[in-house]
Amino acid sequence: MNEVERNKAIVRRTWQEIFPACDVEALAAVTDPDVISRGRRPDEPAGFEGAKQTMLWLSTVFSDQRWDVHDVIGDGDTVAVRLTHHGRHTGDLMGIPPTGREVAYEYVHFLRFRDGKMIEQWSVRDDMTLMRQLGVIPARPEAPIGAA
């Protein structure tokens, strides 16, 4: 298996096995201690500690979690992944009390690797869809605003 295919396999394993199981040891095996997260929360520490805390925090916010991996694309030392996070909102989400609602919202991650470990990460989440599903903001209007 070449380096790009190995990195793609690590990305799939991270979201299909490691995050759902909250496996800290397995996450440490694929994450550099000084990983740079370009999409971390303001209260999230840097490095592996932040990645670990995010994984554990998500498990307190959403029960019955799973990530559906839709696309994994690799080029050189970088892998892009598009996935959907599913779960039930059963814990506090940054001040939003548990709603018990099922959620499913998309993420896109770009991950850079060195020696089989993630060293840098960028992420984009569809927070608007998540907030709509939680009832924090109203659902989309049926017709565009201003349409006759």
pTM over 0.75: yes
Task: Note whether residue 126 is domain-resident.
Answer: yes
Task: Note whether residue 116 is domain-resident.
Answer: yes
Q: What is the reported pLDDT for 65?
A: 96
Residue whose tokens read 């850079």 = 112
| Structural domain count, the chain | 1
Average pLDDT in the chain:
94
Q: What is the reported pLDDT for 142?
A: 64
pLDDT tens column, 56-86: 999 999 999 999 999 999 999 999 999 999 9
Task: Note whether residue 44 is domain-resident.
Answer: yes
Show the domain range for 50: 3-133
Task: Note whether residue 142 is domain-resident.
Answer: no
Task: Note whether residue 35 is domain-resident.
Answer: yes
Task: Note whether residue 145 is domain-resident.
Answer: no
CATH of the domain at 113: 3.10.450.50
Residue 76: burial class (beta carbons within 10 Å; 0-12, 13-18, 19+): exposed
Work out the end-to-end distance of the chain between its first and last CA atoms, rounded to an integer number of angstroms: 57
CA distance 79 to 11: 8
Task: Note whether residue 104 is domain-resident.
Answer: yes
